[in-house]
Amino acid sequence: MLLDGNRVRDEILAECRSRVEALKAADHLPGLAVILVGNDPASEIYVRNKIKTCQALGIYSEKLTPAATSTTEEIVELVESLNRRPEIDGILPQLPLPPQVDPKKVQLAVSPDKDVDGLHPLNLGRLAANLPGPRPCTPAGIMELLRRYQIPIAGRHAVVVGRSDLVGKPIALLLMHQHATVTICHSRTPNLAEVCARADILVAAIGRPALITRDFIKPGATVIDVGTNRISDREEAARIFRNSARKLEEFDRKGSLLVGDVDPVDVVEIAGAYTPVPGGVGPLTISMLMVNTIEAAERELGKACFA
The span from the CA of 5 to the CA of 109, in Å, is 32
The span from the CA of 197 to the CA of 217, in Å, is 5
55 is catalytic: no
Q: Which of 89, 94, 200, 218 is catalytic?
A: 94
Q: Going by DSSP bridges, is the β-strand pair 229-231/257-259 parallel, antiparallel, or unpaired?
A: antiparallel
Q: Which of 117, 225, 263, 266 is catalytic?
A: 117
Question: Counting runs of H as helices and runs of E as strands, what totals does the chain give?
Answer: 12, 10
Q: Which of 50, 114, 169, 218 is catalytic?
A: 50
100 close to 93: Cβ distance less than 8 angstroms: no
**Which CA distances in Å does 5 have to 71, 160, 290?**
37, 19, 15
117 is catalytic: yes
The span from the CA of 236 to the CA of 244, in Å, is 12
Non-local CB neighbours of 141 within 8 Å, separated by 6+ positions: 5, 8, 281, 284, 285, 287, 288
Q: Which residues of 138-162 are buried (b: 16+ CB within 10 A; e: fewer)?
A: bbbbbbbbbeebebebeebebbbbb
What one-character-per-residue DSSP string does 190-205 give?
A: TTHHHHHTT-SEEEE-
CA 62 vs. chain centroid, Å, equals: 21
Task: Provide the β-strand partners of residue 257.
Answer: 231
What one-character-per-residue DSSP string does 113-135 give?
A: GGBTTS-SHHHHHHHHTT-SSPP
The span from the CA of 196 to the CA of 270, in Å, is 13
3-state class (DSSP) for residue 77: helix
178 is catalytic: no
Annotated catalytic sites, by residue? 50, 94, 117
